[in-house]
DNA sequence: GTTAAGATAGTAAGTAATTACTTGCTTGAT
DNA sequence: ATCAAGCAAGTAATTACTTACTATCTTAAC
């Protein structure tokens, strides 16, 4: 009795419509400029009229907030999973990097939306969610870098904050590159090449021959 | 006789108004979200009415194009100057990096505008200027990295393309960091710390004691 | 030099298009 | 039968751009 049939497209319960709305926005952000995502465009993508959106969200900002909550939840879950699967800090850093790139390659509009929200003037809810996400993300990286230094995997004199900034910047660089090429898929390939340089930059011994990781 | 008096604020010749318009946009982009830069906001900043803008520019897009031309000219000039002042490739790379960060710290809205233009859907003139700028920028970096490898300053096995991507990404990371902190000035300080890691990542010998650069 | 003509740069008040959001009514699942 | 969920057609605000008119500078005849 609690079961719901999805035979009919219309008159879905609110929870599912909210989830589908988030999906629509993420899809649209991948195809066009996030700033061109109007409520009309979202509704059209969902096969609804524009007004119907406001049965589930009070404002457009609330929609964006839901999207950012979705991103934060999914991304951090993937990061934590990747972290826990690896024993050493440096391997965990690489796993996080690759899963992050994989996430972003699968949802190319997400980093653009995040960057866009960061530039919003006031103190909006979506902006706060982005800053919180990056804060939590940075804390995990910070801890891993410190652990790596303590275990001797990373250079003991390494500037931890700078290493975290560069880690995030490395991802940003790949995003920008995919923006220029118009192809998000090559991010996955370029990611390994770029991270190799990063690893050399933070590693204890920038070995010429010593293989550091084995996850290839 | 050909001299012009600037006593009166109004009725300036077209060339000067165009230059002042670019200045206004660059200023506004530093203070607010570039997407909120309306023609009304530009005019207000210049002390003009909105309609007066269209005496000098046919469309808003033409204004953005002028801004991007201004950016490309100034940034590449600084890059070339920094390049030529240094003898070795690695020193040139660091000089470019620092002068770029200095430029961006002085005009924090510029990288945001560039990133925004890259996301525009169609084939607009401002977008083309950005891609061209990055292309020329990348070519200079590419050449320097290759030179550095040939001279033995950089790792012979270094992935040149990845090194260029990471170089640009490093700057993006600092921009994002300044967006989070709300302070563009600390970019100049963080730049050295972050570039130190990058240099280790691309350098031939990631020496613990050997001083590579001397420009401090 | 003075001054009238002509071009340039400004203003104020439009305009059509687009935006997020609302309202009154209808549909459909339970 | 009830009520959440949907539709169609609004609304006010904002946008880039236009139009009709005015002020200012330049220039050349006198």
- For residue B214, the model assigns a pLDDT of 43
Alpha-carbon distance B162 to nearest alpha carbon in chain A (angstroms): 5
Q: Closest by alpha carbon to B195, among A129, A169, A28, A153?
A: A169
Q: Is A39 within the bounds of a domain?
A: no
Q: DSSP code of B107?
A: S
Domain for residue A26, yes or no? no
Structure tokens at A85: 């699967």
Q: Does residue A70 surpass a pLDDT of 50?
A: yes
Which range marks the domain in which residue B85 is found?
Answer: 59-202
Distance CA B79, CA B82 (A): 5
Distance B2 CA to C5 C1' (A): 21
- pLDDT tens across the length of chain B (216 residues): 333 333 336 778 778 899 999 999 999 999 999 999 999 999 999 999 999 999 999 999 999 999 999 999 999 999 999 999 999 999 999 999 999 999 999 999 999 999 999 999 899 999 999 999 999 999 999 999 999 999 999 999 999 999 999 999 999 999 999 999 999 999 999 999 999 999 999 998 744 444 444 443
Q: Is A186 on the interface with B (CB under 8 A)?
A: no
A8 is a domain residue = no
What are the tokens at A158?
Answer: 């390494």
Query: How many CB atoms lie under 10 A from the CB of residue A96?
Result: 22
A56 touches strand D (CB under 7 A): yes
Q: Is there a contact between A197 and B158 if contact means CB atoms under 8 Å apart? A: yes
Give me the sign of the Cα torsion angle B94, B99, B100, B102. Answer: positive
Report the nucleotide nearest the CA of residue A62, measured to C1'.
Answer: C20
Q: Which of residues 138-167 of A touch B (CB under 8 A)?
A: 155, 157-159, 161-163, 165-167
Between chain A and chain B, how many beta carbons pairs sit less than 8 Å apart?
A: 148
- Determine, yes or no, domain membership for B79: yes
Are residues A169 and B174 in contact, defined by beta-carbon separation less than 8 angstroms?
yes
- Residue B44 included in any domain: no
> DSSP string of B11-28?
S--HHHHHHHHHHHHHHH
The C-alpha angle A130, A136, A141, rounded to 5 degrees, equals 120
CA-to-C1' span, B62 to D24 (A):
26
Structural contact between residues A169 and B171, judged by C-beta atoms closer than 8 angstroms: yes
Q: Which residues in chain A touch residue B205, judged by CB atoms under 8 angstroms apart?
A: 206
Q: Identify the CATH number of the domain in which residue B74 sits.
A: 1.10.357.10
Q: List, as ranges, residues 50-89 from A with C-beta within 8 Å of B.
A: none
Taking C1' of D10 and every protein CA, the nearest residue is A51
Give pLDDT, residue A7. Answer: 33
Domain presence at residue B182: yes
Helix or strand or coil: residue A203? Answer: strand
Total domain count, chain A? 1
A176 touches chain B (CB under 8 A): yes
Domain assignment of residue A161, yes or no: yes
């Amino acid at each position: 009795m609690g079961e719901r049939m999805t035979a009919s497209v219309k008159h879905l319960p609110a929870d599912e419509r909210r989830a589908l709305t988030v999906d629509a926005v993420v899809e649209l952000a991948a195809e066009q400029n996030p700033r061109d995502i109007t409520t009309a465009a979202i509704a059209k993508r969902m096969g609804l009229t524009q007004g119907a959106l406001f049965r589930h969200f009070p404002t457009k900002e609330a929609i964006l907030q839901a999207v950012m909550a979705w991103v934060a939840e999914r991304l951090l879950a993937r990061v934590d999973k990747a972290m826990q699967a690896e024993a050493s800090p440096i391997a965990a850093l690489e796993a996080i990097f690759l899963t992050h790139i994989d996430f972003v390659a699968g949802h190319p509009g997400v980093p653009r939306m995040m960057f866009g929200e960061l530039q919003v003037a006031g103190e909006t809810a979506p902006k706060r969610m982005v800053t919180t996400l990056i804060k939590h993300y940075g804390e995990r990286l910070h801890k891993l870098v410190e652990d790596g230094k303590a275990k001797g995997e990373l250079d003991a004199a390494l500037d931890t904050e700078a290493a975290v900034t560069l880690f995030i910047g490395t991802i940003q660089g790949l995003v920008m590159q995919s923006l220029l090429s118009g192809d998000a898929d090559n991010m996955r390939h370029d990611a390994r090449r770029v991270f190799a340089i990063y690893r050399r930059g933070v590693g204890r011994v920038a070995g010429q021959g010593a293989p550091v990781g084995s996850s290839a």
